């Protein structure tokens, strides 16, 4: 059943766990995620990025999700627009039946971020849709002080500013920057480190309010090695240690975005299938194992997030 994220986040906040938000691009990913959530009895956020909409056509992705919900009717599913860059795309998603959208104006100046976010919030709330926004900047890599940027200066989220931002925009959840980054090459300049003191300060300042963690894939070495073993080239790929994600889920983070880990699992398994049976040209023979890799990865992530048996 389609739901928004309000009830999901309330239960997650009170229960000290986080909802997995998994990016979907094709049928096998949708099936693998939903099979895992059915097995672990977990509510889920299926999110679609601008790039996924351009790749697969929004209509196809929506119909795939609807089919999965028909197969698993008791799994609460929020269909979410990930990183909507402007009002027009957020409006299209809202009008297209999404139950949640993200407006990401985090790279704009602060006042412009507020203006763009509030514009989306006003339109979405009138339609019964919830809105995620972002304050602080996640880039290809987050830098520590002395390595290209300073905490609180356009990169890490300022706790006091976060309170004002939520009050002025009315957004329903907020993605914060505490040291995570997008992609498979996080922390290449040093050891993994998240600013949990900053997260705790934000959580206290916004008591009971759901926070979101982007760029939180762990880039599991097993699948990096599998990709490289069978012809890939992912040198020094590194992600967020899973114990850090589990800790964040107990500190007001109610939604954790996961994309790169699914991509790595699928790609590693497909590369392995091609290498071991180069004569195969039946997509079912390599997409089937890839779907199973997605299922297993999502089960693992749900356990890390503590999102098990919450239906």
CATH number for the domain harbouring residue 267: 3.20.20.70
Mean pLDDT of 89-102: 98
Q: Is residue 34 part of a domain?
A: yes
234 three-state secondary structure? coil
Tell me how far the alpha carbon of residue 109 is from its chain's centroid: 24
Q: Over the stretch 278-304, which tens digit does the pLDDT of each residue have?
A: 999 999 999 999 999 999 999 999 999
Q: Is residue 43 part of a domain?
A: yes
Q: What are the residue numbers of the active site?
A: 82
pLDDT score of 145 more than 50: no
170 three-state secondary structure? coil
Q: Is residue 310 part of a domain?
A: no
- Give the residue numbers spanning the domain of 267: 6-305
Q: Is residue 311 part of a domain?
A: no
281 near 16, Cβ under 8 Å? Answer: no
Number of domains in the chain: 1
Q: Over the stretch 186-245, which tens digit does the pLDDT of each residue have?
A: 676 677 788 999 999 999 999 999 999 998 788 888 889 899 899 999 888 888 889 999
Hey, what are 233's tokens? 């080239």
CA 229 to each of CA 101, 193, 233, 275: distance values in angstroms, whole numbers, following the listed order: 38, 28, 9, 10
Residue with tokens 């599991």: 220
Q: Which residues of 189-228 are buried (b: 16+ CB within 10 A; e: fewer)?
A: eeeeebbeebbebbbeebeebbbbbbbbbbbbeebbebbe
Helix and strand numbers, DSSP H then E, in the chain = 12, 8
The end-to-end CA distance of the chain, in Å, is 12
Residue with tokens 């993200």: 102
- Count other Cβ atoms within 10 Å, centred on residue 288: 14
Q: Is residue 1 part of a domain?
A: no
Confidence bin at 147 (pLDDT 50/70/90): very low
Hey, what are 8's tokens? 């999901």
Q: Is residue 143 part of a domain?
A: yes
Q: Is residue 38 part of a domain?
A: yes
Residue with tokens 């749900």: 302
Is the pTM higher than 0.85? The answer reads yes
């Amino acid at each position: 059943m389609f739901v928004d994220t309000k009830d999901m986040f309330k239960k997650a906040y009170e229960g000290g766990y986080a909802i997995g938000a998994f990016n979907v691009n094709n049928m096998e990913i949708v099936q693998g995620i939903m099979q895992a959530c059915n097995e672990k009895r977990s509510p889920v956020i299926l999110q679609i990025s601008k790039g996924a909409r351009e790749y697969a056509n929004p209509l196809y992705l929506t119909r795939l999700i609807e089919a999965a919900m028909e197969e698993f009717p008791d799994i609460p599913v929020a269909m979410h627009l990930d990183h909507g860059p402007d009002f027009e795309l957020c409006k299209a998603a809202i009008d297209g039946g999404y139950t949640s959208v993200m407006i990401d104006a985090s790279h704009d100046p602060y006042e412009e971020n507020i203006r763009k976010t509030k514009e989306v919030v006003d339109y979405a709330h009138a339609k019964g849709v919830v809105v995620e926004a972002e304050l602080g900047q996640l880039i290809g890599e987050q830098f520590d002080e002395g390595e290209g940027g300073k905490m609180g200066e356009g990169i890490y989220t300022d706790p006091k500013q976060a309170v004002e931002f939520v009050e002025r925009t009315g957004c329903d959840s907020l993605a914060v920057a505490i040291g995570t980054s997008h992609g498979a090459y996080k922390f290449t300049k040093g050891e993994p480190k998240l600013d949990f003191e900053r997260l705790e300060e934000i959580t206290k300042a916004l008591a009971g309010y759901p926070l979101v963690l982007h760029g939180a894939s762990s880039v599991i070495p097993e699948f990096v090695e599998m990709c490289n073993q069978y012809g890939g080239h992912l040198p020094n790929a590194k992600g967020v240690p899973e114990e850090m994600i589990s800790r964040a889920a107990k500190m007001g983070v109610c939604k954790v975005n996961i994309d790169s880990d699914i991509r790595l699992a699928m790609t590693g398994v497909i590369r392995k299938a091609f290498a071991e049976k180069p004569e195969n040209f039946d997509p079912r023979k390599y997409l089937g194992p890839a779907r199973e890799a997605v299922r297993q990865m999502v089960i693992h992530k749900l356990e890390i997030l503590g999102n098990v048996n919450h239906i």
